[in-house]
Structure formats: structure tokens, C-alpha cells
Structure 1
Amino acid sequence: MAELDSTDAVILELLLDDARRSFREIAEEVDLSPPTVSNRVDRLRDLGVIRRFTVDVDRTKFADEDECLVEIDTRLAHAEDVFSQLQDVDGVEHVFYTVDSTVVVKAVLPPAELRSLLTDTLSDDQIEDYHVSSILGSSWQPQLGTDDLTIECTICGKTISGDGQKVEVDSGDLYHVCCSSCVEKIIEQYESLKQAADE
């Protein structure tokens, strides 16, 4: 089932609070069995709602850590490329892409490597301007933040009702879509990308 319910919301809140919480502890909170909680978490992962389980490191505890925010005003045509390019750079912890084509990066890099991030990773024609700020402290409090837990179709953006449709492409990626025509579209897109990569 692609639709989420209030139990899914509670499970998500509990995992946001402490991702190391056991399924047994969660089961007690939501009045389900641990295997049922495990199945629900697996389903949330399959749906892409839970991307990964991670650790929030307090960088202020380490000596010689240079934590900074970099605001990059990109040229409109290059904003998405800049966002994509910065995601896999060592030392970049978070990348945000805003509606006004600004890309904000949280990085842990020495000043020389920060300059390299801007000059070697990106080209002058992608950037209009940038501003670097040193971080003195930070707090990361992820929250569910919505009562509307509907899942959108990967292709058309419509709400997936009931079970929706699932399609797994050759790469192993699993997509949840609303209908059979969106299944066809995602297969066509995948095949088109695969052919382009093979050429």
C-alpha cells in the first residue's frame, strides 16, 4: 500500500528522534508486533520516504574543523547542474537548491580546499556570485512537519492512492507511480537514458 497512515507517522517521528531505536521499542509505542514494525519500515524505505539511517555529528567537538556555509548565486540555466555537481564532493555535507537558483552548501573544508571547491568543481559561467560564512554552531532537528502523508507519483506528481503501481528498472531502482501509463513512461525514460549511455 502506498498510502501512509497515522501509525506510519508515529514510526517516522520515533525514528527521527532516534534512528537507533529498536523495532521492539517502536512496536511498544505503536501497539504492533516488532515484525510488523519492520515490515512498515521496509515499506517506507521502498517508497523512498526513508532514504537512509545516519549519524548527526557535532563538529564543534573536533579541533581544527572549518565548518562553513557557502551561498552560491548561480546563473539560472546552471542551478540544477551546480546542485548535482556539489553533492558528491568530499567535505560537502549538505546541499540545498532554492527556487531563486541559489545553491547553499554546508561544508567542512580547510580554506584552500574551499577555494578549490569553487574554482575546480564549478566553472565561472555557472556562478554569478558567492558568499562564505564560518559556522560557529549549528543544530539539526529533522521533523516530519506535516499531517498530509500522501505519496506523489514519481512521473506525473499526482497522489498515489491505494497500492499504486511499482516498477523496478534494470539498475535495481524501484519507483512508485500512480497508474500503468506512468509505468510505461518511466520504462521509456529509463530505456532512452540507457541507450544514450551506451552510445
Structure 2
Amino acid sequence: MTDLDETDRRILELLAADGRRPYSDIADDVGLSAPAVSDRVAALEASGVIDRFTVDIDRSQLREGAHVLVDLSVPPGNVDEVRESVGAADAVEHVFVTASGDVTCSARLPIEDVRAWVGDVVGTDAITDFDVTLLESADWRPSVGGAEFALACDECGNTVTSEGETARIGGSRYHFCCSSCQARFEERYERLDADA
């Protein structure tokens, strides 16, 4: 596995700002040709750094209501259930789980119906309390600047460094922190494949 250089990081920054930016525009910015940028993006996809290209919809343009931040106090056993319920709700733009285990979301809701919305989406038994903050404005700008990219070993979950291994097994690409993890993974894969 190779480390990302400054050109890779700049390409990621430009794509994070606009995933539909033409490779020719990126090439002008980073001093490469458009085919060279295309090759780098393909390599970033193949290595797992880029998972997919998505659309970030500004839901405020699609529905009425006030933009609010809803903080849900959640008992430890309910965090995943509440996060999934909130994340599936149509009005929700972003969902976060805090270090203390609370679930926070930004949503566009009719302000007079927030209590009813929380009851419908989450249920009052799944949370201990909630707070609502009315937002004047919101802006979502994902950034890769200063971020360290690290892949997780597909066998043990440890960070894959430049000394790690990458292998194509069964048509998929996998990353490993060391050759022994790769060997264990391949051995288990072959056993499961033989049993199938």
C-alpha cells in the first residue's frame, strides 16, 4: 500500500467540495493531465480511500419547516437503535453520536411538531430526554485537509501502514496490517469457499 502524497490529498479536497468536478479542472489545479488525475482517482477508489460518490441534498430547498438541532439523551443500550431510526427519517440531514453516547441530528421540521416528531420517529421509551435548538443557518463542508487516512486491516482491524499488504481475494481487494493477518484471512476464506 502506498502513502497519499500532497497531490492525492488535494484531489480528495477538490472532490469533497464538488464530486462532479471535471478531471480537467482538477488537473489544472494540481498540475497534472486529466488522464493522470483519472488514474489517481481510480487508484484511490481501488485502495478503498474513496468509497463512493454521493449527492449532498440541501433538504431546506425541498421542504418547509425550521432548521433545528435535536439532541437526544439515550440510554447506552439504545444508541444504535435510536441512531438508525433518526437516520432513516425523511426530515433528517445529518446524524451524529457524541462521545457521551447521545444522538444529535440536524433536521428541517415544523417547529410546533418537534415533540410529536420525536415520539413518532424514536419513541419516548428509547430516550431519557431531548433538547431542540433552532438554527439560524447551517453549512456542511466535508474537509480532508489535515486528515490522516488509514485503512483498517480486514483481519484484525488494526491500522494498515505503508508496510501493510494488499491482496485481491475472490475478486475483492483486501488490506492487511501484516503478512500473518493476510495468511489467516486467506486460509479462512479458502475453508469457507470450499464448504460453499
Higher alpha-carbon deviation: 68-77 or 83-92: 83-92
Matched with 2:148 is: 148
Q: Which residue of 1 aligns with 2:162?
A: 161
Shift in CA distance, 110/2, structure 1 to aligned 2, threshold 3 Å = farther
Percentage of identical aligned residues: 31
In the alignment, which residue of structure 1 is the partner of 2:132? 132
- Deviation string, structure 1 residues 102-127 (Cα, Å, up to 9, x no partner): 11101123347644542233243421
Please provide the CA RMSD for this pair.
3.5
Question: How far is the alpha carbon of 1:178 from its aligned partner?
Answer: 2.9
> Is 2:59–2:91's contact at 8 Å kept on the other side of the alignment?
no
Q: 1:75: Cα distance to partner?
A: 0.5
Give 1:118's aligned amino acid: V
Deviates more, 1:145-154 or 1:92-101: 145-154
Contact persistence 2:13–2:145 (CA under 8 A): no
Structure 1 pair 146/129, CA: closer, same or farther in 2 (3 Å)?
same
Partner Cα separation in structure 1 for residue 94 and residue 186 of structure 2: 28
Q: String of CA shifts for 1:35-93, please: whole Å, max 9, x gaps.
A: 2212322333341445433246383x678332211001110122133222322221111
Output aligned runs, 1:71-86, within 5 Å: 71-86=71-86
Distance of 2:3 and 2:59 partners within structure 1? 35
* SS of alignment partner, residue 14 of structure 1: helix
The unaligned stretches of length 5 or more in structure 2 are: none
Give the whole-Å Cα distance in 1 for the aligned partners of 2:149 and 2:30: 17
Gap runs ≥5 in structure 1: 193-199
Distance 2:157 2:13 in 1: 28
Q: Kindly tell me the number of residue pairs found equivalent between the two proteins.
A: 188
Matched residues in 2 for 1:88 and 1:48: separation? 25
Q: Supply the AA of the counterpart residue of 1:82.
A: V
2:108 aligned residue = 108
Instruction: State how far apart, in whole Å, the 1-side matches of 2:120 and 2:141 are.
Output: 33
User: In the aligned structure 2, how far is the partner of 1:74 from the partner of 1:173?
Assistant: 38
- Residue 124 of structure 1 aligns to which amino acid in structure 2? T
